[in-house]
């Protein structure tokens, strides 16, 4: 394949007319790579997405793809917070700035969003997932492999290809294996569909990872995984109408949580959700066990007991349910209204008091003897 690219490059360089090669002015955001000598020429734009622009370039004597990420004001990616949950940067000062949403923090968050795809694509390539080979990430530009089809031309998106039912089912099975490998590597794509898969000469290649999430730190990972696999089924069902929908995503997530998922795991499409609900006592027992294990760990390390030690044996009483809290609030309100009504009601007149006999007043004269006056 590399020899084919080199011959095509030499032919187009000599002719300068047809084929892939049409030299254009180097965009400003690619000037740094040209100054470093990494990039020799920019051939033409390949595509423009909701978060980046992709150019066909010549780098190191071969065709490559340069991905330039758009600024935040020009991106149309929705619900970004759903994907960035759990992402952290190594520098604690930068992380505090990101948390406070300061000017420096917003700049660092933007830089982290741009570098996320480079980090993830290196991780997935090392894990054996079929992704474009990454070459360089400099000044916010990702330089990577150009995916070619069987004719040596830039590979089309899966959405732009018409397939037979057998080919569609085979590609679905191949992509499911890639999703399993990605999950084993700690990555959920988050936006996987036929628009983010290229059909190369040797099979599908998954692209576009800036929105990918880490299932160990993002609580939306399961929902995104189910949606990704559902998108693949929707695409395949366009060509194979009788293709059954099976809970592959739920199965692989259950295996992942049980630490039983491996890159070569063969999915069966069988998943039975657990219907038994644990009571309050069982949950409290699990909390006490976890606290007890933590205290043992701290004791073995010579650390002071944690705050959980005081409540390990006597957990706080469980909170009322929302329905019970609502009923209690209504009862309190009724009692207050009754007390206010009693206080505002007019009091009945008091009965007249019984007359008392007038007692004589005693006075003393000059001689000291008491006298009575009536």
Count the Cβ atoms, other than its own, within 10 Å of residue 265.
17
**Backbone CA torsion sign across 290, 291, 297, 300:** negative
- CA-nearest of 40, 71, 74 to 55 is 40
Q: Is 360 helix (H, G, I), strand (E, B) or coil?
A: coil
Name the active-site residue from 35, 139, 149, 191: 191
191 catalytic residue (yes or no): yes
Query: Regarding beta strands 197-200 and 141-145, do their DSSP bridges make them parallel or antiparallel, or are they unpaired?
Result: unpaired
Spell out where the chain has E strands. Answer: 39-48, 52-59, 62-69, 134-138, 141-145, 197-200, 203-206, 361-364, 370-373
User: What is the biggest distance separating any 2 CA atoms in the chain, rounded to whole angstroms?
Assistant: 152
208 catalytic residue (yes or no): yes
Residue with tokens 């990101």: 98
Count the Cβ atoms, other than its own, within 10 Å of residue 337.
10
Residue with tokens 């038994």: 276
Tokens, residue 45: 């734009």
User: Do residues 158 and 194 make contact, with C-beta atoms less than 8 angstroms apart?
Assistant: yes
CA 73, CA 95: separation in Å to the nearest integer?
A: 22
User: Would you put residue 348 in left (φ > 0), alpha (ψ -120 to 50) or beta?
Assistant: beta
User: Would you put residue 186 in left (φ > 0), alpha (ψ -120 to 50) or beta?
Assistant: left
Name the active-site residue from 94, 208, 228, 289: 208
Count the Cβ atoms, other than its own, within 10 Å of residue 98.
22
Tokens, residue 259: 């630490």
Q: Is 207 helix (H, G, I), strand (E, B) or coil?
A: coil
- CA-nearest of 72, 359, 84 to 224 is 84
Residue with tokens 């559902």: 230
End-to-end CA distance of the chain: 137
Residues that are catalytic: 191, 208
């Amino acid at each position: 394949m590399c020899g084919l690219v080199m011959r095509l490059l030499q032919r187009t360089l000599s002719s300068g007319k047809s084929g892939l090669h049409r030299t254009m002015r180097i965009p400003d955001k690619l000037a740094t790579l040209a100054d470093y000598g990494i990039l020799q020429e920019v051939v033409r734009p390949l595509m423009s997405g909701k978060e980046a622009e992709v150019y066909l370039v010549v780098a190191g004597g071969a065709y490559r793809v340069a991905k330039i990420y758009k600024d935040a004001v020009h991106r149309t990616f929705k619900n970004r917070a759903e994907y960035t949950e759990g992402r952290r940067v190594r520098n604690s000062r930068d992380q505090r700035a990101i948390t406070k949403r300061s000017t420096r923090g917003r700049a660092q968050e933007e830089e982290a969003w741009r570098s996320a795809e480079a980090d993830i694509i290196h991780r997935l390539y090392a894990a054996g997932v079929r992704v474009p080979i990454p070459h360089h990430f400099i000044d916010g530009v990702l330089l990577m492999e150009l995916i070619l089809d069987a004719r040596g031309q830039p590979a089309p998106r899966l959405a732009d290809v018409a397939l037979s039912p057998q080919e569609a089912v085979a590609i679905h099975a191949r992509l499911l294996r890639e999703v399993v490998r990605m999950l084993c590597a700690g990555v959920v794509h988050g936006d996987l569909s036929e628009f983010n898969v290229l059909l190369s000469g040797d099979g599908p290649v998954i692209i576009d990872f800036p929105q990918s999430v880490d299932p160990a730190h993002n609580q939306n990972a399961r929902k995104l995984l189910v949606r990704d696999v559902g998108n693949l089924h929707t695409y395949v069902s366009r060509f194979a109408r009788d293709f059954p929908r099976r809970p592959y995503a739920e199965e692989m997530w259950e295996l992942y949580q049980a630490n039983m998922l491996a890159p070569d795991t063969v999915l069966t499409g069988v998943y039975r959700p657990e219907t038994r609900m644990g009571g309050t006592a069982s949950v409290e027992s699990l909390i006490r066990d976890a606290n007890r294990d933590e205290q043992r760990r701290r004791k073995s390390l010579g650390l002071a007991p944690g705050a959980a030690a005081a409540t390990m044996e006597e957990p706080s009483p469980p909170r009322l349910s929302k329905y019970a809290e609502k009923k209690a609030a209504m009862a309190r309100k009724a009692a207050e209204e009754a007390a206010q009504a009693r206080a505002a009601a007019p009091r009945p007149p008091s009965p007249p008091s019984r007359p008392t006999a007038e007692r004589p007043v005693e006075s003393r004269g000059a001689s000291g003897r008491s006298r009575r006056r009536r």
